[in-house]
Amino acid sequence: MLSPSGSWTAIHAATLESLVDIASPTVRQRPNLKIDMADVRELDTLGAWLLEKISREASESGHPATVVGVAGRYEGLIEDVRQVNRRKLASRPIQNPVLARLETVGRSTFGAAEDVSVFLQMLGALGSAGLGVLRRPRSLRLKSLVYHLYQVGWRAIPIIALVTFLIGAIIAQQGIFHFRKFGAESYVVDLVGILVLREIGVLIVAIMIAGRSGSAYTAELGSMKMREEIDALSTMGLDPVEVLILPRIVALVCALPILAFIGSMAALYGGGLVAWFYGGMSPAIFIARLHEAVSITHFEVGMIKAPFMALVIGIVASSEGLRVKGSAESLGKQTTISVVKSIFLVIVLDGAFAVFFASIGM
């Protein structure tokens, strides 16, 4: 005879579970078990399930229990709980760990190939949308383009200028500090000028834009994908690439060279200030030396890279945005992938350009 009493409700879950654990060995041994529910004051699904579990255990061990004294208002609940959890999910076969590892490697290799094809697809779609716009210039989304130009260009200026100013200053300070040992302080102008104009200016700006605007593009397009806005556009006969992606990427391609220019100037300004206050080189001398040290070629090398980097950032951000699936988690994942991948590609592209310019002697 088992007589549960009191409240068998979720609030007392911990106590109830330990009670059931204590009772279960006895239940398994005793034949003709009777469960008297007359004293149960409150019952919910959790309590009903625990009591059902006891009576199932009893019947499994060969002597089914009889349940008596169920209050009328709980009959339906107990009847319902009797139906549930009757089936076990077929357990999945455990995989060989070596095979599983091999499978992961294989899948990620195919994934890399897919990444390349996704990138090329987006480039192609963008190219065809661009040609379409060239043929019918009126189909260019001018309003959207200007809006994005404002977002990724104009609004990025303060932070870009600040960061590149600081980097220019740091390079100059380090240069002066170390060159002083050789008495070659004046060469810091060459260092700052060439480094900033050729490499650092555009690279730092591209990395910052990948983090600032690339992530925004991915998140925007991804949440549009999640809410079926992109599907809605396609069904209305509009090309999402032309409507959403082209203005964004064109804005980025226009904005990045300008930002790279502003960034390079801010870095030179920072370097000049440090050279003046820390190195004791007056601005007039700094500018004169800069004039000798850098040629227009260095500036061109830096600037030519900017639109290509913008294109890579834009394509990666857009295609990752379109790969977002239904969940909030996948939005976060694709945004992370977008930023990491575009920074990686920007640096790889910079390396490729360095090789290219070296071989043509620029």
The contact set with another protein (CB under 8 A) reads 9-11, 13-14, 17, 44-46, 49-50, 53, 73, 76-77, 79-81, 83-85, 87-89, 325-329
Nearest to 247 by CA among 148, 361, 348, 138: 148
Provide φ and ψ at 281, rounded to 5°.
-105, 120
Contact 303, 206 (CB under 8 A): no
Q: 9 or 144: whose CB is closer to another protein?
A: 9
Q: 17 or 292: whose CB is closer to another protein?
A: 17
In whole angstroms, how close is the CB of 63 to another protein at the nearest point? 23
47 backbone φψ class: left, alpha, beta (φ>0; ψ -120 to 50): alpha
In whole angstroms, how close is the CB of 37 to another protein at the nearest point? 16
Residues 6+ apart with CB under 8 A from 278: 172, 173, 176
In whole angstroms, how close is the CB of 234 to another protein at the nearest point? 19
CA 35 to CA 12: how far, in whole Å?
A: 20
In whole angstroms, how close is the CB of 104 to another protein at the nearest point? 21
Q: 44 or 220: whose CB is closer to another protein?
A: 44
Q: 21 or 116: whose CB is closer to another protein?
A: 21
Residues 6+ apart with CB under 8 A from 176: 185, 188, 274, 275, 278, 279
Q: 46 or 254: whose CB is closer to another protein?
A: 46
Helix (H, G, I), strand (E, B) or coil at 153: coil
In whole angstroms, how close is the CB of 38 to another protein at the nearest point? 19
In whole angstroms, how close is the CB of 92 to another protein at the nearest point? 10
Nearest to 319 by CA among 115, 143, 149, 161: 115
Q: 9 or 151: whose CB is closer to another protein?
A: 9
Q: 75 or 103: whose CB is closer to another protein?
A: 75
Q: Side chain identity at 44, as an amino acid letter? A: D
In whole angstroms, how close is the CB of 17 to another protein at the nearest point? 6
In the block, tokens 């379109």 appear at 322
Alpha carbon distance, N-terminus to C-terminus of the chain: 95
Helix (H, G, I), strand (E, B) or coil at 7: strand
CA 296 to CA 319: how far, in whole Å?
A: 36
CA 316 to CA 321: how far, in whole Å?
A: 8
Q: Side chain identity at 251, as an amino acid letter? A: A
In whole angstroms, how close is the CB of 39 to another protein at the nearest point? 19
The pairing of beta strand 6-8 with beta strand 66-68: unpaired
CA 216 to CA 343: how far, in whole Å?
A: 14
- Tokens coding 152: 């990724």
Q: 16 or 176: whose CB is closer to another protein?
A: 16
In whole angstroms, how close is the CB of 61 to another protein at the nearest point? 18
In whole angstroms, how close is the CB of 98 to another protein at the nearest point? 26
CA 240 to CA 128: how far, in whole Å?
A: 12
Q: 13 or 131: whose CB is closer to another protein?
A: 13
